[in-house]
Amino acid sequence: VMSFGLLHLARPDQALAEAYRVLRRGGRVAFTVWARPEEAVAFGIVLGAIQRHGRLDVPLPPGPPFFRFSDAEESRRVLRGLGFEAPEVTVVPQVWRLGGADALFEVMRDSTVRTAGLLRAQTPEALEAIRTDVRETAGRYRRDDGVELPMPAVLSSAVKR
C-alpha cells in the first residue's frame, strides 16, 4: 500500500514492478493519488495561480507527471502491463476543511512536496501575487467559519495471480 507516495517517485513503474515481484500469488497492491486539478480543487486553485503569476517550468526532483495516475485508464494500463490482474480504480470523495482562504496557500507551501517546490522557486513578487490569487479563489468556497475544498483521491488496486 502506498498512500499519495507514487507521484513522488522518479520511476513509479519500477516501484510497481518491484511490488509485483515481492508479492505472493493472490497478493494485492494498492495506491492512492490525487484526482486531477479540475476535481481536486485545492491543486487547481494553486496551480492555476502559479500559471497566471509565476512559472511552472522550475527544476524539481525527478518524478512522473503529477496527475499521471489520476487517469483511471493509465493506472489500469500500467498495472496490467506489469502482470497484475483485475485492476480496480475508485474515486474516493474527500473534502479539505481549512480555517480560511489564507490557509490553502500555507498548507501547500508548508505541507506538500512538489507543489511546495513550485512555490519556493517563485520570485518574491510572483509569490505574493500567487498568494493573493489563491486567497481570492479559495474564498469562493467559504462555508461558515472556513473553506471547504473538494479533494477526491483516486484509489487503484490490483491482484497478483
The string of pLDDT tens digits covering residues 8-33 is 898 999 999 999 999 999 999 999 99
- CA dist list (Å): 114 to 21, 119, 148: 28, 9, 22
Query: Is 126 a residue whose pLDDT tops 90?
Result: yes
Q: How many other C-beta atoms are found inside a 10 Å radius of the C-beta of residue 31? A: 24
The string of pLDDT tens digits covering residues 92-114 is 999 999 999 899 999 999 998 88
Polymer length in residues for the chain: 161
Is residue 133 within 8 Å of 122, Cβ to Cβ? no
Chain position carrying cell 487547481:
44
- Would you state the pLDDT for residue 61? 82
- Would you state the pLDDT for residue 7? 86
d(CA 109, CA 115): 7
- Would you state the pLDDT for residue 8? 87
The string of pLDDT tens digits covering residues 29-80 is 999 999 999 999 999 999 999 999 999 999 988 788 899 999 999 999 999 9
